[in-house]
Every structure is written in C-alpha cells, then in structure tokens.
Amino acid sequence: MKYFYLYACCIPVKGYCRSLIIDTQREKIYYIPNALFHILSTFRNKNIDWIKDYFKQNEVIDQYFIYLIDNDLGVFVDNIHSFPPIELKYNSPHIITNAIIEISNKSSHNYSNIFLQLSHLSCENIELRYLCETTISSLRSVLNITDKIPFRSLVMILPYKSEFSYEKISVLANTYPVIKSIHIYNSPVFQSYTTESDCSIIFNLQKNILPDQCGKISFAHFSFNLKTISEAISFNSCLNKKVCIDSFGNIRNCLSKIQTFGHINKVKLKSVVESAEFQCLWTIKKDEITVCKDCEYRYICTDCRAFIKDPSDIYSQPAKCTYNPYIAKWEGEDDS
Ligand code: SF4
C-alpha cells in the first residue's frame, strides 16, 4: 500500500476559495484546490487506494499527485508513520527579538543605556530609523556603542545626503559587520549594492518614512520561512516580541500606535515589555482576525494592528489590505 508523503517542509494552508502549499525550504508557494488540502491534511494517514475509493474520482486524484510530484513537493512511501509532520511550535529564548529606535532632530537618546537595556532582553535585531539628516561621524559614534553588544543584525534607514556615496557607506558597513542593510531614502537615483561584508545598501526614491506609511499588505512583503510561519500560527506576526522607542524616547509597541508605555530614561524597559498591558497584542493571531482567518495567505502575511478597518474592533482586518479571500483576488486584479 502506498501513501503520499508531502515533504515536512511543505505546509498546506486552507483558505476560503483555495488552499496553498508553502514550501518553506525553497520559499515558494503553490495554489491547490481545497479538496487536495483535505487529502493532504485530514486524509494524510490514508493510503492512495482508500482515498480513491472514498472520493470515487480516480483520474482527478491521480492528477493531484502528479502535480505534487512534478513540483517536487512529496513522494509515495510505504509507511507514512515513518514521516511525522514537522512541529510548528514557535519558541524563542529572546524576550525581545526586534527593536526599532527612531531618531529625529529632537532626539536626545542615551544610546548606551538603550542598547544595554536591549541586550538584557537578549534582543537580536536593531533598526535605527533616522527621520533627520545625520553624518558619517555621528553614525560611527552610535555604531561604536553597538560594537560592544552582541546584536545579531542592525538595519539603518537614513535620509539621503550628498556625503553618502556608496564608497563611504560601504566602508561603514565593512567596519561594522553587524550592519546587514542600509536603506537610504529620498535618493535622487535608485541604486542597490552588496558589500564585501554581505550588507545590502539600497538608495531608494521613497520621499520619507513617516509612521503612517506602515502596515502595507502586499505579496512583496510576505515571508515564506518556517520561523515566521510558526510565529504567525501562534502569535501576532507584526508585534510579537517587538519594541519601539520613538524619537522622543517613548516606549511603544509600534511607532504607528498612539499608546505609549513611559519614557526610556524613566522606566525600566524590561518591566515594560514583560507587562501584560504591553504584551496584550502579541497573541492576536491571524486565525482570530476577521477576514484574515479565511485567507490562504494568513501565515505568510504580515499583520498590522495600528491601521485596521474597524478601529473599534482590535480583531479587525488590516486597513491597507486589498485582498479578498472570498473571491481570491486583490483589488484591481484582472478577472482574466
Ligand atoms: S486578508 Fe489581507 S491582511 Fe489578511 S491574511 Fe489575507 S492578505 Fe493578509
């Protein structure tokens, strides 16, 4: 007796009109009918003869399996119990995984204090988001502080300045290997590079990075890796384990959220981020959000709790989403 084994790295997700297989290793998705989703999930432990007998649709069932094998998504096996499904449980030893620090002309951040407090939360990834112009030398003085702290990655977002030639910026990236990407907005031309230290440097034409531009939902922002999928199944895919410090030093869940949780110089970051009040949005899963819960993209899609369609309902769909899972179309998408 043969069973079909969908590779463990391939995660089937059911939507209202259609389903997906997310190949987390090749970071690709495949659209499948909901009937095939049921065969791969509900009837995973049934052999092929049993499935054909149950559906009385031999030809269709054969076509389904040919499609899966042609796309290298699985194989026939003799014993399905030798191939248990992958566990999609999200575990992270980090109290905070990502922190955004916003910087403007009015900022008087004590970077040593902020970075030290973030390191006590075992924060992995830092984003420095500049709303104002800066210089290479002031960037160096901030980066010298991060150098003593074991962050995994640092992203810098800066407004364009003529001083920021690729040569000077790449020297900065090569000097501080923690920098994984530098985005320079309001650039007169679009350019994209990768440095010797594997840092991506992008000069883009975007005029500014105001917080109201946050929350865009599009295919380009989807993430297909196992870690983000596991997180989205159990937690909020935007806010879980994230903290922001705005340009005035206020602690927030997100720079676009109005609510603040005290000033970084006056309260302990650890006590804020460990409070139930700060974490209350961390557990809002896509499976609980109106419309999203019926969407086949829900585990690869980013969420947004700052801009929602019904501000009186925290389980409301992100306001900037134009996808309709009930007809499987993005707004403006051609019917053909
Ligand atoms: S409905 Fe929109 S926001 Fe919700 S999961 Fe689907 S694509 Fe994402």
Q: What is the pLDDT of residues 135-185, one digit of tens each?
A: 999 999 999 998 888 899 999 999 999 989 999 999 999 999 999 999 999
Q: What is the mean pLDDT of residues 290-313?
A: 96
Q: How many Å lie between the centroid of ligand 1 and the Cα of residue 39?
A: 25
Q: What is the mean pLDDT of residues 223-237?
A: 95
Element (H, E) at 40: helix 34-40
Please report, rounded to a whole number, the percentage of residues in the chain having pLDDT higher than 90: 91
Q: How many Å lie between the centroid of ligand 1 and the Cα of residue 259?
A: 24
Any idea what the Cα angle at residue 290 is, between residues 300 and 98, rounded to 5°? Answer: 45
Residue 210 has what pLDDT? 78
Please report, rounded to a whole number, the percentage of residues in the chain having pLDDT higher than 70: 99
Q: How many Å lie between the centroid of ligand 1 and the Cα of residue 11?
A: 18
Quick one: which atom of ligand 1 is closest to the CA of 298? 5
pTM greater than the 0.85 cutoff: yes
Q: What is the 3-state secondary structure (H, E, C) of 244-289?
A: EECCCCEEECCCCCCCCCCECCCCCHHHHHCCHHHHCCCCCCHHHC
> Is there a contact between 201 and 184 (Cβ–Cβ < 8 Å)?
yes
User: What would the two tokens of residue 51 be?
Assistant: 């499935």
Q: How far is 217 from 179, CA to CA, in rounded Å? A: 26
Quick one: which atom of ligand 1 is closest to the CA of 325? 1
- If you average pLDDT over every residue of the chain, what do you get? 94
Q: How many Å lie between the centroid of ligand 1 and the Cα of residue 242?
A: 20
Residue 222 has what pLDDT? 95
Residue 277 has pLDDT above 90, yes or no: yes
Residue 212 has pLDDT above 80, yes or no: no
Residue 38 has pLDDT above 90, yes or no: yes
Quick one: which atom of ligand 1 is closest to the CA of 304? 3
Q: What is the mean pLDDT of residues 97-113?
A: 96
The CB-based long-range contact list for 84-88 (8 Å cut-off, 24+ gap) reads 84/8, 85/8, 85/44, 86/8, 86/9, 86/11, 86/226, 88/11, 88/226, 88/229, 88/230, 88/233
> Is there a contact between 249 and 263 (Cβ–Cβ < 8 Å)?
yes
Name which residue sits closest to atom 4 of ligand 1, judged by CA.
292
User: What would the two tokens of residue 71 be?
Assistant: 């796309």
Residue 278 has pLDDT above 60, yes or no: yes
Q: Which residues contact 252 (CB under 8 A, 6 or more apart)?
A: 243, 244, 245, 246, 259, 260, 261
Task: Give the chain's end-to-end CA distance (angstroms, integer).
Answer: 42
Ligand 1 binding residues, C-beta < 6 A: 217, 286, 291-292, 295, 297-298, 301, 317-318, 321, 323, 325
Q: What is the mean pLDDT of residues 198-202?
A: 95
Q: How confident is the model at residue 335 (pLDDT cuts 50, 70, 90)?
A: low
Residue 135 has what pLDDT? 94
Q: What is the pLDDT of residues 310-329, one digit of tens each?
A: 999 999 999 999 999 999 99
